[in-house]
Chain A
Amino acid sequence: MKLPPTLMHVKIHGEEGNFGIWLPLFLLLPLAFVVFIILLPLILIAIIVLWPSGWGRRSLLTLWIAPQILCSLRGLKVDIKNEKENVFISIV
């Protein structure tokens, strides 16, 4: 089982200014989890209502795959730069 990412580093350098932030995902993810638990009854009702149309099954699968994608984000790095701008995103 892979652990979810702990930090996200975003850096943007441009002509209009520089911006950089370290997002503490290890603090945000528990909050998101609490919100998810609160909304879970509504989500389950929506899944049951949408089940005959086929979207309920897809929503359930999304709920199953989304945490896997989140945990797989660890190690992702995007670094794009030209003469004037630089965008850097790293998830650790």
Chain B
Amino acid sequence: MTENQKRILEMLADKKISVDDAHRLLNAIDSTEGSQRGIPRAETTTKTKPKYLRVTIVPDLTHEHSQNVDRVNIRVPMSLIRAGIKLTSLIPIEARDKVNKALQEKGIDFDIHKVKPEDIEDLVEALSDLEVDVASSKGEKVKVFVE
């Protein structure tokens, strides 16, 4: 057991992090340390396919206004996202031009015309590396991740 793994388990024992967080951190350490040592482990070589996109909003207990925060727990199947992306083909060309223009106004150089069904799988797989963790000033913790 490495120093980092011990530290995570200590944080879990102290209830500073949840079981889910500990699992994710241990997996992340496994993959980075495994690759550094050049050890081909099953977990590191075969990337598990993400099943769900999770969005959670929980109160930040250290914040004074945390009691007024809504709790949100949303789990969206990845297959629903895949099917939803297919709906982009139903968007009329005129609407796509408007979307492209709006994106460019926001500084995003992206052409929605170029999204093809073949790219969907790559897009969804790329989501597996996504992890957003925001602590807002309103006393809420927002997490977006895949599992």
Give the number of residues in B that approach A within 8 Å (Cβ atoms).
Answer: 23
Set of chain B residues within 8 Å of A54, measured between Cβ atoms: 92
B120 to chain A, nearest CB (A): 12
* Cβ B80 vs Cβ A72 within 8 A: yes
Report the contact-size class of chain A (Cβ under 8 Å from the partner). 20 to 34
Query: What is the number of contacts between chain A and chain B, taking CB atoms within 8 Å?
Result: 56
* Cβ B74 vs Cβ A69 within 8 A: no
Q: A65-B86, A81-B70 are in contact. Are A76 and B92 (CB under 8 A)?
A: no
CB-CB nearest in chain B for A90: B75
A29 to chain B, nearest CB (A): 17
Tell me the complex Cα distance, A58–B95, Å: 14
- The verdict on B84 contacting chain A, using a C-beta distance below 8 Å, is yes
CB-CB nearest in chain B for A55: B92
Flag A38-71 by CB within 8 Å of B: 1 or 0 each. Answer: 0000000000000000100010011001001101
**A residues adjacent to B (C-beta < 8 A):** 2, 54, 58, 61-62, 65, 68-69, 71-83
